[in-house]
Structure 1
Amino acid sequence: MVHTQLFTEKPDCAARLSKEERVYDLLQKLKISYTGVDHDVAPTIEACREIEDVLGIMPCKNLFLRNRQKTEFYLLLMPGEKKFVTKDLSHQLHISRLSFAEPEFMEELLNTSPGSASVLGLMNDTYQRVHLLIDEDILSQEFIGCHPCINTSSLKIRMEDILEKFLVHTGHSYVTVHL
């Protein structure tokens, strides 16, 4: 269930996890505006459809991937409507095989759990071990939807702010992919 009350400032953090509170603090520090909404757990793109309708944004799928050796990690942002074909992305990156990364890597590198991955988790990747991949269709959108490191809230943020403020702050760059 999606709560219809939208927020544009840091919500009361008494009932929120510290990792979510740190997201709001960083967005405030970077002067990144957002519109947010709280909702029931939304671990899948299907569960997020109603949320994206409330926020007025394109569904964004966030996939956390790794190479076979478990030495390279990737966060892929792609339209929720697109089908993910591992071999197509592996070919573009010149990697023999990509797999979904295990939950322990997601927790260690992004401080998130499955179903909560988003670009905002890169704030926790202080050694830039995660490579950001963004599908060209996501890049063409004015806004992106993302979880604040927990999948019981969603935020609508300008793509320009993510690219020019947030990623600059975290030290991450991105690679544009075509899926």
Structure 2
Amino acid sequence: MALQVEKGRPAQNEGRSKKELAVYDYLDKQGIAYERVDHPEAHTMEDCIPIEEALGAKVFKNLFLTNSKHSYYYLLLMPGDKPFKTKELSAQLGVSRLSFAEPEEMEEVLGCTPGSSSIFGLIHDKEDLVELLVDKDLMKEEYLCAHPCHNIATLKVKTSDLFGKFLKSTKHYKTEVQLKGEE
């Protein structure tokens, strides 16, 4: 199946979720350019391989984590081929007992469902509950790809726009971490 790359938002809103459309509205309002491919639901990094090939950029893992009290959240962006080790990240942050947040928390805080968590969900974090963590290896890429809060499309955005214009407009900042994927 060949995926077709489009510039900007879809011409038709039919079949698009409100959360997905909100991402397009937000990026357009901020003047952030993006390319898009529509595709069947992508639940795994393996599902994203043809998307990466079509867009010519990396799709990264978006992991939504929480502290033991479920009072603070972390959105970790990391290369899709790097293993995630909770202990390694916890040590770097000085936070004990990190775990994956519940699906209901992801929906409430980021406006995303499992399989569609995304940096673009930060537009829904009005209470500033999420700290963005970015693996330093992603900073080497000219472009990065992420779902627009729905895993039926993927957007390709300049890394400088994502961590510049986009983060500034959402009033978030990034904390860089260096993950090795080892114990």
Q: Secondary structure at the match of 2:161?
A: helix
Once residues 51 and 73 of structure 1 are traced to their aligned partners in structure 2, the CA distance between those partners, rounded to angstroms, is 28
- What do the CA deviations read for 1:102-152 (whole angstroms, capped 9, x no partner)? 000000000000000010010010111111000000111111110000000
Give the conservation status (yes or no) of the 8 Å contact 1:76–1:133. yes
Residue 17 of structure 2 is aligned to residue 17 of structure 1: yes
Question: Hey, what's the Cα distance between the residues in 1 that align with 2:44 and 2:101?
Answer: 16
Match of residue 144 from structure 1: 144
SS for the counterpart of 1:43 is coil
Q: Distance in 2 between matches of 1:142 and 1:9?
A: 18
The answer as to 2:76 corresponding to 1:76 is yes
The reply on whether 1:153 has 2:156 as its aligned counterpart is no
Letter of the 1:8 counterpart: K
Residue 61 of structure 1, CA deviation = 0.6
Counterpart in 2 of 1:89? 89
Question: Runs of 4+ in structure 1 displaced over 3 angstroms?
Answer: none
**d(CA) in 1 for partners of 2:4, 2:49:** 17
**Shift of the alpha carbon at 1:13?**
1.1
Match of 1:32 in 2: 32
User: Matches of 2:15 and 2:86 in 1, distance apart?
Assistant: 38
Letter in 1 for 2:7: T
**Structure 1 equivalent of residue 7 of structure 2:** 8
Deviation at 1:43? 1.2
Alpha-carbon distance, 1:49 to partner: 1.2
Residues 4, 54 of structure 2: 8 Å contact kept: no
| CA–CA separation in structure 2 for the residues paired with 1:173 and 1:130 | 10
C-alpha distance in structure 1 between counterparts of 2:81 and 2:58, whole Å: 9
Q: Structure 1: how far apart are the matches of 2:44 and 2:63?
A: 11
CA RMSD of aligned residues (A): 1.0
> If the length of structure 1 is used for normalisation, what is the TM-score?
0.96
Same amino acid, percent of matched pairs: 48
Shift of 1:7: 1.2
Contact 2:3 2:51 survives alignment (8 Å): no
Shift of 1:21: 0.8
Question: Contact 1:59–1:81 (CA<8 Å) still a contact in 2?
Answer: no
Q: Which residue of 2 aligns with 1:176?
A: 176
SS of the equivalent of 1:64 reads: strand
How many angstroms does 1:18 deviate by? 1.1
CA distance in 2, matches of 1:74, 1:95: 11
User: 1:100 & 1:128 partners in 2: Cα distance?
Assistant: 18
Partners of 2:96 and 2:9 lie apart in 1 by 43
Aligned counterparts of 2:3 and 2:67: Cα–Cα separation in 1: 40
Query: What's the offset of the Cα at 1:164?
Result: 1.3
Which one-letter code corresponds to 1:93 in the other structure?
L
Structure 2 distance, partners of 1:38, 1:87, is: 35
